[in-house]
């Protein structure tokens, strides 16, 4: 099981398209759109994996642990 927080950003300006012999240009300015948490549970020998994204204001590990437990219950039935 692994958790990784990520910042969500959006571009504020349209990139300048590439021209002959030059690559496209991007501005470094961005708009912050919050954060999210990416959770991953992996069971390599069984060939299973589970990924879930949660917004910053949701209960984090408890929600993911509950979903893992529910998936295990359903697999045993």
pLDDT digits (tens, 9 = 90+) for 3-33: 888 999 998 888 888 888 888 888 888 899 8
DSSP helix/strand/coil, 46:
coil
DSSP helix/strand/coil, 75:
helix
Tokens, residue 50 = 């589970």
The pLDDT value given to residue 31: 92
Rg (CA), the chain: 19
Tokens, residue 49 = 């994996």
pLDDT digits (tens, 9 = 90+) for 25-70: 888 888 998 888 888 888 888 888 888 888 766 666 777 778 777 8
Cβ pair 51, 68 in contact under 8 A: no
pTM over 0.75: no
Q: Which residue has the tokens 């690559």?
A: 23
């Amino acid at each position: 099981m692994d958790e990784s927080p990520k910042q969500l950003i959006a571009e504020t300006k349209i990139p300048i398209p590439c021209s002959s012999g030059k690559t496209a240009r991007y501005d470094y300015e961005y708009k912050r759109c919050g954060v999210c948490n990416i959770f991953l549970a992996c069971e390599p020998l069984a060939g299973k994996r589970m990924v879930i994204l949660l917004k910053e204001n949701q209960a984090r590990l408890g929600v993911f642990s509950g979903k893992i437990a529910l998936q295990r219950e359903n697999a045993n039935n």
